[in-house]
Amino acid sequence: MTQAIVVEKNGGPEQLSVQNISVGAPKTGQLRIRQTAIGVNFIDTYQRSGLYKIEMPFVAGNEGVGVITEIGPNVSGFSVGDKVTYQGQVGAYSAERLLDAERAIPVPDGIEDQTAAAIMLKGMTAYYLMFKTWPLAKGEAVLFHAAAGGVGLIACQWAKAIGARVIGTAGSAEKLALAKAHGCDEVINYREEDFAARVKELTNGRGVDVVYDGVGKDTFEKSLDCLRPRGLMVSFGNASGPVSVPDLGILARKGSLYVTRPTSAHYFADRQSMLEAANAVFDVVASGKVKVEIGATYPLANAAEAHEALEGRKTTGSVVLTP
Ligand code: NDP
């Protein structure tokens, strides 16, 4: 039996219940791993609350790292004792788990377990947002919302390394200082200031080339006012609630804008594109251009506390659970 955080009913963090579950032997194409660190992501809260539908009951979480303890039939290229990480595989909040070998990513030497758990989902998201959704070029200006968050701190440093001008928003003075120290050229407290007016001022009325918005409902419409004509709005999350666009004409009125609502599953559908992204993340971390900030760690059994902090806007950088 292994300790796991199970969701049996949608709701608040109180629905994360600590249970002992049986993991079983790996089936065809699977690995069994003993986890050493687990990443906490906002998507975990959407699955728990029911914003993203998922079959009940389920073990929460989508990202982790661990050591292979058993290998199922028809798996090649892995050995017992190998360290692997993964993202986008539900069932992460557990001391041990089964994992599809197709989704397992070898961890290179020099990357610590907590770091791997902190950067796979968030780092690979930052990668596809800036290299695939919009191939960000030197000299372009971007606005990144929640710049001091998990995806935010990684993405802003990476955007800066590419040579972009990075404007970040965050919700407190402490978060603004952190964002400034991690890639942002300029920062805006969007709880206090009209961020669209400030972006226009900072860009001499032109607007930015791209807005990356994981905040959603509270920032979507105003973010359109931050874009230059024919700029791209990348709405990639819903931390404040989901976005709906009742009138597409708004895009014409605000400058013939483009909008996309991407999700990582469509960018990492095959193993090759997944490994390309993972290796890009490992490389940029190894180069020192992206420093990994783990804002908080919690014991696995305290996952509910981690969700409360994340949804309460109390966290910075990545949050990690330790089994
Ligand atoms: P973060 O660490 O960025 O936490 C979310 C942050 O959003 C908070 O810290 C807070 O920062 C800000 N925020 C603004 N309004 C609210 C609100 N009402 N409630 C809670 N938070 C709010 O989380 P992650 O790094 O895990 O994820 C960031 C976003 O990226 C999420 O929306 C997530 O769903 C999305 N995402 C999307 C992926 C995709 O493929 N589409 C993949 C991975 C993540 P502040 O206090 O500074 O405002």
Q: What band does 45 get if pLDDT is binned at 50, 70 and 90?
A: very high
Nearest one of 305, 250, 293 to 153, comparing CA atoms: 293
- Please state, in angstroms and rounded to a whole number, the distance separating the CA atoms of residues 110 and 254: 47
**What is the pLDDT at residue 20?**
97
> pLDDT tens across 74-114, in order?
999 999 999 999 999 999 999 999 999 999 999 999 999 99
Kindly state the average pLDDT of the residues 243-250. 92
* Ligand 1 atom at shortest distance from the alpha carbon of 265: 40
Residue 112 three-state SS:
coil
CB-based contacts of 232, cutoff 8 Å, min separation 6: 133, 134, 209, 210, 211, 257, 258, 259, 260
- Encoded amino acid at 252, one letter: A
Ligand 1 mean position to 310 CA, how many Å?
Answer: 8
CA–CA–CA angle 46, 48, 122 (5° rounding): 50
Ligand 1 mean position to 146 CA, how many Å?
Answer: 6
Helices (H), strands (E): how many in the chain? 9, 16
Q: Where are the domains of the chain?
A: 2-120+267-322, 138-261
Q: Is 266 exposed, middle or buried (0-12, 13-18, 19+ CB in 10 A)?
A: exposed
Q: Kindly report the protein residue whose alpha carbon is nearest to atom 1 of ligand 1.
A: 149
**What is the pLDDT at residue 182?**
98
CATH of domain 2-120+267-322: 3.90.180.10
Q: What is the DSSP letter of 94?
A: B
Ligand 1 mean position to 271 CA, how many Å?
Answer: 26
Ligand 1 mean position to 78 CA, how many Å?
Answer: 34
User: 38, 117 in Cβ contact below 8 A?
Assistant: yes
Q: What band does 319 get if pLDDT is binned at 50, 70 and 90?
A: very high
Q: Kindly report the protein residue whose alpha carbon is nearest to atom 33 of ligand 1.
A: 237
- Please state, in angstroms and rounded to a whole number, the distance separating the CA atoms of residues 149 and 147: 6
Residue 88 three-state SS:
coil
Q: Could you give the maximum distance between any two Cα atoms of the chain, in Å?
A: 61
> pLDDT tens across 53-67, in order?
999 999 999 999 999
The DSSP-derived string for 182-245 is TT-SEEEETTTS-HHHHHHHHTTTS-EEEEEESS-TTTHHHHHTTEEEEEEEEE---TT-----
Kindly state the average pLDDT of the residues 26-49. 98
**What is the pLDDT at residue 173?**
98
Which CATH number is correct for 138-261, 3.40.50.720, 3.40.605.10, 3.30.413.10, 3.40.50.450? Answer: 3.40.50.720
- Quick check: 245 pLDDT over 90? no
Kindly state the average pLDDT of the residues 288-310. 98
**What is the pLDDT at residue 281?**
98
User: 138-261: same fold as 2-120+267-322?
Assistant: no
> pLDDT tens across 111-157, in order?
999 999 999 999 999 999 999 999 999 999 999 999 999 999 999 99
Assess: ipTM above 0.95: yes
> pLDDT tens across 261-289, in order?
999 999 999 999 999 999 999 999 999 99
Q: What band does 52 get if pLDDT is binned at 50, 70 and 90?
A: very high
In the chain the beta strands, taken as DSSP E runs, fall at 2-7, 16-21, 30-40, 58-59, 63-71, 83-87, 96-100, 105-106, 141-144, 165-170, 186-189, 208-213, 227-235, 258-260, 294-299, 318-322
* Ligand 1 atom at shortest distance from the alpha carbon of 311: 20
The mean-pLDDT minimum among 30-34, 83-87, 244-248 falls in 244-248
- Quick check: 246 pLDDT over 90? no
- Quick check: 159 pLDDT over 90? yes
**What is the pLDDT at residue 43?**
98
**What is the pLDDT at residue 261?**
98
**What is the pLDDT at residue 149?**
98
CB-based contacts of 269, cutoff 8 Å, min separation 6: none
Estimate the crossing angle of helix 150-162 against helix 173-180, to 10 degrees: 30
- Quick check: 306 pLDDT over 90? yes
- Please state, in angstroms and rounded to a whole number, the distance separating the CA atoms of residues 31 and 102: 10
